[in-house]
A and B are shown apart, each in its own frame.
Chain A
């Protein structure tokens, strides 16, 4: 009789122990795999509209965001992702992105294809910061650059934008050469990575992270409320995420 009791007590204790360990693991150590898919980009590039298209499949008029938008999104009934739209304004972008920076699953950089000439330096700096950060490199294996606003006549092709950005980043590499750590930002700020190969110009294909360029148009053609967006390229990229 005593032996039976002993067995049951042992089993129960074991179960309780396992249960506690599992809780402790999830609460204190977190999940290793990243969770958030972040939309980043410069102001006025169309992030919030793209977010609304992906999350609610509707058109909405937008103004400059001062707060992030979050939603759990079902992409074509296959995958469910946590989509986060981070405001583009320089002053708050770093702070708000910092909340999600250590827990990312994917990053989509949205670029205004029509205005890229004027803003190529800012976009290049943003990409440079992302690509040379060690913590981002650890968490991600690919980044999407969505060349938005393809519905406008002045929009440039993805290839042209890619070349422009490569040139800018080559120049940035030189000016940031001896930059030491200690900028406000990453808690894991060890020295930033050198992008590309040392003796030739920077190219996206030299990076360990895969950077893909796709065209899209969050605005779509037609009247505001009834316009149909062309964001399938973005959607398919998200569904192909590991």
Chain B
């Protein structure tokens, strides 16, 4: 039944394994390690990989991982107990070898088979539960208490009653505002006999209701064209259309700008990362700088001298109880720093899971250990699992053919998509790429004009080298009211034709609960298959971040093709300058998706675009 059971060290060496099939499951176990343990989801102890379920258990005293793998379809109830008992048995048997360190290829088969046989026979010996008959159930008791309904016989003949319940429901719904039923709602109304009785009681009062119900509408009314709220009709659209030509590049008169040339040249190369001062509250930043370096040196040396004594003094084991009050405090602290509540909870559970049973020297406080572990976990969460080097990717795409590199910005309303899109365009221009902006926000008033203004501004800042050379930045727009996915497709074709390196697609802001809009976004992404889908979120958001990201991800996955599943590839964290040190939103977002934060917006000018400095954010969180 079990496909695989492995015991391996945290350093990666397999100490013992039992394999039920010839199929290699190393990939699945690696997936477990990377997805669950390294992403701090240790609280959830089961993980699914293709058709397999994996359950695991950590032993923090000897740094071991126990993993059981079995087919997803089979429900094995004893796996948790198996893991627990195997862990205890293994530790007892090999305590000495494990304490000494290097131990390879141990033989544990006999004990393992013993435990497994015991648990399997226990499961088999439990009789399968027989289902209760209706009369024995609680429902029959409740019905018997009602005076005017007879108890339904064992197997009610339902076929002829199938039609009446739906009709009865409709009439019920129609009649509700008109007549209050005198029958008690609940078990009575839901049984077939009860519903028939309700229907009969109401037919008298429902003649009026019938006229208003949906099922019988007079056929004489001609079908009126339905007017949806909020959608711009063709006539209105043409009146709103401000493009002077109906073509692509809208070359209207450019109003005179005060062009600020001082910005040019500041953003060449990779983005600067956030500095310490930007993340801290102002008061403490200066003292921190001077003392941090001296602190580093002294702590290293004191560690060296005292670690000798600490190893002498023996150890104490960390237990769940000793950690709980500290973790509670840490959790509340994180919540005050604007981390979403459920994320803080999961994080603390994960840290507890990683430290449970660990042995530390008697001189080290539990609080400092927990704090250090939490800090490690936070750094791990914020560190990207793969480097997102956009400049490099653009170069690769350019070398590979004439296809442009497409970046899509999506997010809820008002988070700063258009502003940050302009900042990204500025950065790309600084690095010598040609950018096309696709105005796929066809809904918000002024969206196209805003992007046009940005385009003019950026163009005048980065005039092409020779006269008559093609412009380095252009806007592709089709006015308002059109289908966003179609505009995006045309824009990408246009970019390919004209030799643009990057296409930045701006979409309309939409709430994550709005089903039709989410579907429209998923369609845009599915049809155009952009290279990078960036979710733009503001740093001010708290618990909402989790909801937004989960729903956006789910919408993208649900409406994408089977073999080309797209999810959010990266996060842009905006309005970072408005929060002093309440930087929790960064954690909430990266924890939910597992994707890195690619850009951080720190202001409202073109140069206010930085990359994430993990240590600055983590130290601000834990202060």
Contacts and interface: CB of A to CB of B under 8 A. Distances in A.
Interface of A: 27-28, 30, 43-44, 48, 52, 55-56, 58, 60-69, 71, 85, 87, 89-92, 94-95, 121-122, 125, 171-172, 174-180, 182-184, 187, 225
A175 B387 contact: no
Contacts of B380: 91-92, 95
9 contacts: A63-B33, A64-B33, A69-B12, A89-B34, A91-B385, A94-B383, A183-B613, A184-B613, A184-B615
A121 B33 contact: no
Contacts, number: 127
A55 to B, nearest CB: 8
Contacts of A91: 38, 380, 383-385
A182 B392 contact: no
A77 B387 CA distance: 41
Contacts of A64: 12, 29-30, 33-34
B273 interface: yes
B389 interface: yes
B14 interface: yes
Interface stretch (B3-11, B440-448, B486-494): B3-11
A171 B392 contact: yes
Given A69-B11, A90-B384, A63 B26 contact: yes
A190 B464 CA distance: 34
Given A171-B392, A184-B613, A184-B615, A176 B384 contact: no
A63 B38 contact: no
Contacts of B272: 180, 182
A181 to B, nearest CB: 10
B105 A177 contact: no
A177 B11 contact: no
B268 A65 contact: no
Nearest to B296: A187
A234 to B, nearest CB: 18
Given A62-B12, A68-B11, A182 B29 contact: no
Interface in B566-607: none
Contacts of A179: 269-270
A236 B395 CA distance: 40
Interface of B is mostly: mixed
B17 A176 contact: no
Q: How large is the interface on B (under 10, 10 to 19, 20 to 34, 35 or more residues)?
A: 35 or more
B379 interface: yes
Contacts of A180: 272
Contacts of B8: 61-63
B441 to A, nearest CB: 30
Contacts of A95: 376, 379-380
Contact of A67 (B63, B270, B386): B63
A181 B380 CA distance: 21
Interface of B: 6, 8-14, 17, 26, 29-30, 33-34, 37-38, 63, 65, 102, 104-105, 268-270, 272-273, 275, 293, 296, 301, 304-305, 376, 379-380, 383-387, 389, 391-392, 395, 431, 613-616
Contacts of B12: 48, 62-66, 69, 85, 87
Given A58-B104, A91-B38, A63 B269 contact: no
A87 B105 CA distance: 21
A90 B65 CA distance: 20
Nearest to B6: A63
A112 B557 CA distance: 32
Nearest to A178: B269
Given A61-B17, A65-B10, A175 B376 contact: no
Which 8 pairs across A and B sit closest by C-beta, in order of nearness? A178-B269, A65-B12, A67-B10, A61-B14, A69-B11, A184-B615, A175-B391, A48-B12
Given A48-B11, A68-B11, A172 B38 contact: no
Contacts of B305: 27
Nearest to B611: A183
Contacts of A182: 272-273, 275, 613
A227 to B, nearest CB: 13
B38 A122 contact: no
Given A63-B8, A177-B269, A48 B13 contact: yes
Nearest to B382: A91
Contacts of B11: 48, 65-69, 85
Nearest to A182: B273
A180 B613 CA distance: 13
Contacts of B268: 177-178
A28 to B, nearest CB: 6
A95 B381 CA distance: 12
A169 B459 CA distance: 32
